[in-house]
Amino acid sequence: MNQPIRRVAIFCFLLIASLLVSSNYLQVVNADSYKSRVGNKRNVYDAFAYPRGQILTADGTVIANSVPSGGLLYKYQRQYPLKSQYGNVTGYKSIGYGSTDIESVLDGYLKGTDSSESVANFMDTLTGKSKKGGDVQLTLQNPVQQAAIKALGTETGSVVALDPTTGAILAMYSNPSFDPNGISSNNSDVSNPAANALANDKNKPNLNHAIQENYPPGSVFKVVTAAAALDTGTFTETGPTGAPATTLTWPGSSNQLPNENGATCPGTDLKSALEQSCNSVYGFVGDKLGAQTMAEYAQKFGFNNPSLKIPLSVAQSNFPAANQIGSDAVALAQDSVGQNGTQATPLQAAMIAAAVANGGVIMQPYLVDKETAPNGHVTYKGTDHQHELSQAMQPSTAATLDDMMQSVVANGTAQNAGVAGVHMGAKTGTAQRGTNQNPLAWFICYGTANGKKVAVAAMVETNNPNIRGDVSGVGFAGPVADAVLKAALGVS
């Protein structure tokens, strides 16, 4: 080979090598940046080119699936058979509006692209099987969810039911909810108006209020204060606390913390005061325990935890830090009865009841039971990931609180909410929101029957000003919690 030909050959080789390096850089090294570009429609086409996995309840009820759309570019469309009953749990998967909630958080599983499904997908490719996504089964039990929906009815509010021994969420519903089918439609004439209506709805029906919004918990927080009082040994169940029986006042201050309707507490011990939900006693106890201790026990119960996921993100429930309260006894007393700066999600309220029911241990709440790859192989089991979130109190303290909360049902503010044949403890609550708003009605409880155990929290918002003075936890939230408890335990 003469020198000119050799030079041309080397030049051609370098061009080919450069082309290979460049193409590999584009397709391998820089592939993700091109794939994630906003203008890249192939991702959207691909997401709707094959069936996405189903979302099911623990008992096999399908709450999200994919159906043929008849379109050329978007061959499948997401469908939600039970409409609004699970809308703010599943969220939606939409061509124009992306995805939310379970559809978003577990997108990889449902598309079949999660790393746990890579082997199954490779084998399906080799055998020529059609591409499809993996199924996600939740811990929610449809009969329990239906009981929550029916009991809440048209009332605004939220319900959460937990298995306190495992952390599995058995029901989670907030009203108002929304039907995801409109926004998930492949027809923009349907999805655009649905998305606009959702965005403009001041009631935020697409928000899962059970985990994504905080409320003043009112007197259900007294269970936390009682736990701190007993666990530290500062007070006993039936020993006098030294608190006033009527109204808690402070020297040199015009501030007062009265009992509901100005009532006189029949006893100033922890048990009697919990039975009748006495603010004067529990405000006094919180003040005596001090800001540091109260903040410590609130944290043990799950408050001030910014990283709680189920796997959906959970809004942080809040109890003011000790340095925020300082020496402000008035604020601390109000915080200790679930008012002022204390804020909780309904899930957090259910965790309070679950701690008592489970001997002081709070299990990590979780929503995903299992994930099944397209070939039927189970790639994730929620039972393999159950773990303790915190030890909220000693077992002996939980046993004492169990006795106290049973007494609330037998002799106190929850007398009308007892369920025959069920070992049951409860705490009622009303939480003030403002001078022109009705108080929130709260009810937390736990029960054991038929070899099953459940913890429930129900919160109801009433907006009729004519009933403002009649709102009570047992009257409005109690029937909701009772219905869910019965469904979970299989009792009538």
Choice among 69, 177, 219, 317 that is catalytic: 219
If residue 355 lies in a helix (H) or strand (E), which one and from where to where? helix 346-357
**How far lies 444's CA from each of 58, 129, 161, 326, 467, in Å?**
24, 50, 10, 30, 22
Find, among 282, 319, 281, the residue nearest to 300 by Cα.
319
The DSSP output letter for 79 is E
Position 236, amino acid: T
Helices (H) and strands (E) in the chain, counts: 19, 17
- Residue showing tokens 């449809």: 142
Q: Distance (Å, rounded) from C-alpha 160 to C-alpha 135?
A: 24
In three-state secondary structure terms, 110 is helix
Q: Which two tokens stand for residue 37?
A: 């570009």
Contact 115, 123 (CB under 8 A): no
Specify the pairing of strand 135-138 against strand 55-56.
Answer: parallel
Annotation marks residue 396 as catalytic: no
Residue positions counted in the chain:
492
Is the omega angle on the peptide bond into residue 193 within 30 degrees of 0, that is, cis?
Answer: no
Which residues does 286 contact at the CB level (< 8 Å), separation at least 6? 225, 228, 294, 332, 333, 335, 336, 337
Count Cβ atoms below 10 Å from residue 185 Cβ, excluding itself: 23
Active site residues: 219
